């Protein structure tokens, strides 16, 4: 792999021989490392860091959200998946919303709040694969929730932009004197500390039953929700079998629906029909091909991906090599196509992702989110649990595979990933950024496979993505590239925010080292020991 020019701005890849965590906030990465040094494994470290991220980046995630994970318990062992996404309340239905005159689930209302699944997932992972126990794993987050965390620069920027989405009790919990906290100010969440103490002592019952559940249900019903204590008590995560696809000898592992991971696999397969390595890494031709492949893959996502427990999915068709070949044949290398279907997802930045590899080479790829910034913008009255708005991922179109229904999981944008080569996990990684995530996964994959970039270079490079008909090119692209793409028929613009935020840990088994990379678009870092 190529090395960076040390006379140019950039980050070195972090190298260690023991364990490592790469995530979007330094306190979370440091917490993960400390937990491993205390005898914990990668699962313990991932849970401890993830829960803390809900305090360091509360606009991105929190205990009122969902999580997904890929875990390899040890070298040579099968990779297992965990789907800890919540379901719509049993009494909810698309028909009832249509009767109210709605054509889409409102973003900032109790209608969009699915039951939080993350805590159940963390408890299951801890019980089945952790080493320390929840009391030790949650102790750092409890301490920081009480004492407070200094607000980081990127977090402060996002918080200020999205504070207007908060309403009711949430404004008291997540604003300081009615405004977003500034960089360096201390954010505290004593109510969440109490919730986490109950989870540490009682497990999932401390969250899904008793006073915490009563607080959440009463708060949601006061906002017009139909949630019940039974909905919370029934929450249960599932172990799932990952799906995968090959790209030039590298295997991309993703979680199956209701997440959108299959979209990344399809997009990579489409691009495998083009000689990407012969193109300029950040030139117009590559950006064009990726954009066209994304249009086709995302159209398939919008038609096929839903809760497999409630509808029959055509996943095999979506991932078939023949499907990718037929779609690739639709791409004109010289001209932009009209979108085959309007992309139903906007680019959302409100997710946290982390990679952890421990000294025994247990590997965890975990993603954790409340969806939009501060989710629904609602919080429980007593404990200040911020509710996700994942229900906005449902369709209200009658008969659609992803049509909202009680007890059903919505199509999810958050997707953890791994790369595997010759049967062994090479790199856990993820790219935060809502709808952008599959395209971000493919950009990381091709940066490394086609252009020989090391993980930090693969993360640092400029990104492109089409949102609402506009091809957004980060400022790292030249004006000449913008002009060429405009001439090819793309509507080109500069995105208002950076596209996504990535984390990765490359496992060099031959040398016994780990190489960590963290996105400069966020506040975080990779740390090892």
The answer to whether 57 and 155 are in contact (CB under 8 A) is: yes
Rounded CA-CA distance 480/476 in Å is 12
Within the chain, how many helices (H) and strands (E) appear?
18, 19
**37 Cβ partners below 8 Å, 6+ apart?**
19, 529
Using CB atoms within 10 Å of the CB of residue 489, give its burial: 0 to 12 exposed, 13 to 18 middle, 19+ buried. middle
Copy the structure tokens of residue 387: 């509710």
The structure tokens 């995302």 sit at 298
Q: List, as one string, the DSSP characters of 93-155.
A: BHHHHHHTT-SS--TTSGGG-PPP-HHHHHHHHHHHH-SS-HHHHHHHHHHHHHH-EEPPHHH
Which DSSP string do the residues of 321-374 spell out, in sequence order? HHHHHHHHTT-BTTBPPPPSS---------EEEEEEE-TT--EEEEEEE-SSTT
Out of 263, 351, 413, 466, pick the active-site residue: 351
Query: HEC profile for 458-473?
Result: HHHCCCEEEECCEEEE
β-bridge partners, 428: 418
Instruction: Tell me how far apart the alpha carbons of residues 280 and 89 are, in angstroms, rounded to a whole number.
Output: 49
Asked if residues 169 and 384 have their Cβ atoms less than 8 Å apart, the reply is: yes
Three-state DSSP class for residue 505? strand
Among this protein's residues, is 351 annotated catalytic? yes
Beta partners for 247? 250
- Crossing angle between the packed helical segments 321-328 and 261-271, to the nearest 10 degrees: 60
Alpha-carbon distance of 401 to 417, in angstroms, equals: 24
Q: Residue 476: which residues within 8 A CB-CB, separation 6 or more? A: 282, 461, 462, 463
Q: Which residues have CB under 8 Å from 423's CB, separation 6+?
A: none
Give the strand pairing for 492-493 and 464-467. unpaired
Spell out the residues 6+ positions from residue 342 whose beta carbon is closer than 8 angstroms to its own: none
Yes or no: say if 370 and 61 are a contact pair by the CB < 8 Å rule: yes
The CA distance from 515 to 507, in Å, is 7
What amino acid positions are annotated as catalytic residues?
A: 351
């Amino acid at each position: 792999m190529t090395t960076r020019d040390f006379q140019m701005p950039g980050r070195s890849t972090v190298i260690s021989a023991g364990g490592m965590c790469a995530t979007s906030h330094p306190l979370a990465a440091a917490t993960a490392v400390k937990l491993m040094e205390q005898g914990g494994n990668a699962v313990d470290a991932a849970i401890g860091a993830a829960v803390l991220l809900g305090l360091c980046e509360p606009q991105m995630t929190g205990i009122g959200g969902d999580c997904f994970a890929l875990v390899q318990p040890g070298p040579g062992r099968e990779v297992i998946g965990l789907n800890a996404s919540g379901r719509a309340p049993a009494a909810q239905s698309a028909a009832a919303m249509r009767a109210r005159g709605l054509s889409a689930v409102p973003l900032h209302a109790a209608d969009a709040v699915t039951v939080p699944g993350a805590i159940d997932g963390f408890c299951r992972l801890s019980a089945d694969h952790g080493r320390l126990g929840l009391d030790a794993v949650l102790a750092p987050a409890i301490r920081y929730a009480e004492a407070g965390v200094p607000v980081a620069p990127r977090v402060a920027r996002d918080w200020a932009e999205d504070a207007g989405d908060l309403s009711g009790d949430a404004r008291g919990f997540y604003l300081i004197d009615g405004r977003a906290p500034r960089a360096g100010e201390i954010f505290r969440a004593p109510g969440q500390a109490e919730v986490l103490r109950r989870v540490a002592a009682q497990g999932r019952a401390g969250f899904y039953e008793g006073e915490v559940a009563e607080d959440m249900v009463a708060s949601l019903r006061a906002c017009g929700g139909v949630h019940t204590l039974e909905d919370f008590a029934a929450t249960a995560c599932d172990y799932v079998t990952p799906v995968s696809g090959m790209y030039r000898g590298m295997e991309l592992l993703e979680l199956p629906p209701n997440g959108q991971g299959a979209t990344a696999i399809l997009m990579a397969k489409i691009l495998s029909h083009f000689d990407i390595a012969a193109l300029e890494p950040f030139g117009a031709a590559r950006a064009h091909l990726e954009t066209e492949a994304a249009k086709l893959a995302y159209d398939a996502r919008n038609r096929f991906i839903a809760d497999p427990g409630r509808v029959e999915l055509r996943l095999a068709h979506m991932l078939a090599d023949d499907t990718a070949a037929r779609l690739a044949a639709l791409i004109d290398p010289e001209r932009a196509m009209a979108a085959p279907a309007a992309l139903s997802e906007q680019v959302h930045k409100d997710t946290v992702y982390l990679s952890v590899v421990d000294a025994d080479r247990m590997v965890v790829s975990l993603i954790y989110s409340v969806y939009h910034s501060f989710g629904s913008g609602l919080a429980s009255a007593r404990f200040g649990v911020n509710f996700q708005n994942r229900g906005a991922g449902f369709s209200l179109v009658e008969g659609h595979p992803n049509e909202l229904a009680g007890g059903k999981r919505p199509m999810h944008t958050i997707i953890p990933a791994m790369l595997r080569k010759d049967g062994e996990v090479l790199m856990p990684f993820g790219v935060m950024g809502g709808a952008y995530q599959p395209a971000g996964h493919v950009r990381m994959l091709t940066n490394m496979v086609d252009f020989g970039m090391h993980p930090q270079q693969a993360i640092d490079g400029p990104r492109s993505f089409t949102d609402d008909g506009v091809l957004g090119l980060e400022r790292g692209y030249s004006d000449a590239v913008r002009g060429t793409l405009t001439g090819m028929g793309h509507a080109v613009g500069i995105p208002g925010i950076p596209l996504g935020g990535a984390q990765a840990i490359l496992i060099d088994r031959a040398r016994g080292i780990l190489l960590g990379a963290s996105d400069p678009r966020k506040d975080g870092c990779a740390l090892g020991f």
